[in-house]
Amino acid sequence: MSCIALIVAAGRGSRAGDGPPKQYRLLGGRPVLSHALWPLCAHPGITEVRVVIHPDDRDLYENAAAEQRLGPAITGSATRRESVLVGLQAIAASGGAQQVLIHDAARPFLPTPVIDRLLAALNGHEAAIPVLDVVDSLVRDGETLPRAGIKRVQTPQAFGFEALLAVHRAWSGDEPTDDAEMMRLAGHKVAEVKGDERLRKLTTAEDFAEAEAAFARALVSRTGLGIDVHAFGPGDRLWLAGVEIAHDRGLMGHSDADVALHALTDALLGCIAEGDIGTHFPPSDPKWRGVASSVFVTHAVERIAAHGGVIDHVDLTIIAEEPKIGPHRDAMRQAVARLLRLDPGRISIKATTTERLGFTGRGEGIAAQSVATVRLPEGT
C-alpha cells in the first residue's frame, strides 16, 4: 500500500509577525516545517513525503528539508486548494499512490498515534480527519450556540488518492475550508478519528512563544558513548575525523578505517539506542568496502533527525602516539561540523598518547572515544 504525505507550505503566513513565512520560522532551533516533516518521514506506513512550496522559498525549503529524505519540492499556486491540486497532480505524474495525507506545514507537533488512527480509518473510508471536541461555550452576536455536534478539525487529513484527485479536478466552487469539505460535498463519507491538542496550528506571535516554551519542556537530553580501534597497516596516508593525513602507514579496515568517525557514529547512535555502526553497515556486506566514513556519520545524523532530535555537542578524543593531531585539529573540527550541520564551536577534538604503554603506545594502532549529547522529544 503506497501512501504519500503531501505538506502544503506555500502560504505567506503574515499574522505571525515579521521575518520569513511562519513555516520557516525557527522553533527549538529548527524551521517549523522541519518539525512538521519528521513524524511523517519516520512513519513506517508512509512511503514518501512531498512538499508544496512558494517559488520564492526555495532556499528556505532546502535548509528546512536538509535533514530529511524527501522527493523534489513542488511549486505551489495562489490558493491552498490550487496548491493541493498541483501537489496531487505532481504525485499522479510520478506514478500516483493509493492513499494520500494532506498536512499543513504550520502544525509542527504531529503525534504518531494520530497518523496511526488516520491510516486505520482509511480501511473502509475514502476520507478520514482528526477532530477534537469544543469545550468552551460558543457565542454568536451575543447569543449562545449549542455545542453539541460541533468539532474542531485538524490536519493531516487522509484520503484515497484517486478519489481526492477526482474531487479536486472536478471542483468549481469557492475556496473550501479544507479537503475534507470538498470530499463531503462530493458525496463521500468522512470518518472522524481523535485529534490531539498538540497538533494545533501556529498562527500568531503568541502561538510561537507558547510553542517555543512547550518545545523546550518536551525535549530530554541523552548522552551516547562510542569507542573504536583500528590497526596500522601498509600505506602512506590515513583518514582521521574526516581529514586525510599523509603518514608512513595507513589504517586497516573494511571502510576507509576512520577510527574517529566510527567512534562518533556509535556515540550518535547511542543517543537514540539504535545499535551500533555494525548494525547499520554490516562489515560482511561488500557494498561498504572502502566507503567514506562520512556516510556512516550522515546516516546517524539522519536517524536522529527522524526522531525529531537536535545534536547539542560532540567530544572526540583520538588516542595515538602518531600522527600528531594538533596541526589537523581545526580541519577536523570543520569537517565534523559540516557532517553534523553544527557550528564548529559545538565540536571538540582532543588527542592524547598513552605514554608509550599498550597497543597505542607501541604504535600498533589508533583508538578513539566519543561522547555525543542530543536532545530528543520526550517518549522517543
Smallest distance, Mg ion to C-beta of residue 47, A: 33
CA distance 218 to 10: 28
Size of the site for Mg ion (CB under 5 A): 2
Cell of 3: 501512501
The bridge status of strand 151-153 relative to strand 127-133 is antiparallel
Smallest distance, Mg ion to C-beta of residue 265, A: 9
Containing H/E element for 192? strand 190-194
Q: Which is nearer to Mg ion, 28 or 365 (CB)?
A: 365
Q: Which is nearer to Mg ion, 173 or 283 (CB)?
A: 283
Q: What would the x/- binding string for Mg ion be over residues 341 to 360, using CB under 5 A?
A: --------------------
Q: Check if the beta carbon of residue 359 is closer than 8 Å to that of residue 201.
A: no
Cell of 18: 515579521
Q: Which is nearer to Mg ion, 57 or 228 (CB)?
A: 228
| 262 contributes a contact to Mg ion by CB under 5 A | yes
Q: Which is nearer to Mg ion, 48 or 266 (CB)?
A: 266
Q: Which is nearer to Mg ion, 202 or 251 (CB)?
A: 251
Nearest to 359 by CA among 191, 271, 190, 232: 232
Q: What would the x/- binding string for Mg ion be over residues 181 to 220, using CB under 5 A?
A: ----------------------------------------
Q: What would the x/- binding string for Mg ion be over residues 88 to 127, using CB under 5 A?
A: ----------------------------------------
Smallest distance, Mg ion to C-beta of residue 266, A: 9
CA distance 204 to 135: 21
Q: Check if the beta carbon of residue 132 is closer than 8 Å to that of residue 154.
A: yes
Smallest distance, Mg ion to C-beta of residue 228, A: 4
Q: Which residue is nearest to Mg ion (CB)?
A: 262
| 328 contributes a contact to Mg ion by CB under 5 A | no
**The one segment of 115-123, 169-177, 223-231, 312-320 that binds Mg ion by CB under 5 A:** 223-231
Nearest to 291 by CA among 239, 246, 369, 236: 239
Q: Which is nearer to Mg ion, 35 or 262 (CB)?
A: 262
Containing H/E element for 201? none
Residue type, 348: S
Q: Which is nearer to Mg ion, 137 or 284 (CB)?
A: 284
Cell of 212: 517555543
Q: Which is nearer to Mg ion, 32 or 261 (CB)?
A: 261
Smallest distance, Mg ion to C-beta of residue 227, A: 10
**The one segment of 24-32, 48-56, 225-233, 330-338 that binds Mg ion by CB under 5 A:** 225-233
Residue listed under C-alpha cell 476520507: 127
Smallest distance, Mg ion to C-beta of residue 355, A: 24
Smallest distance, Mg ion to C-beta of residue 361, A: 20
Q: Which is nearer to Mg ion, 76 or 253 (CB)?
A: 253
Cell of 317: 578524543
CA distance 57 to 271: 33
Residues 6+ apart with CB under 8 A from 210: none
| DSSP structure string for 68-109 | S--PPPEE--SSHHHHHHHHHHHHHHTT--SEEEEEETT---
Angle between helices 259-271 and 294-306 (to 10 degrees): 10
Q: Which is nearer to Mg ion, 216 or 225 (CB)?
A: 225
Q: Check if the beta carbon of residue 296 is closer than 8 Å to that of residue 285.
A: no
By CB under 5 A, name the one of 126, 179, 228, 256 that touches Mg ion.
Answer: 228
Smallest distance, Mg ion to C-beta of residue 260, A: 10
Smallest distance, Mg ion to C-beta of residue 156, A: 41
Greatest Cα pair distance, the chain, in angstroms, is 87
**The one segment of 97-105, 184-192, 259-267, 285-293 that binds Mg ion by CB under 5 A:** 259-267
Chain contacts with Mg ion (rule: CB under 5 A): 228, 262
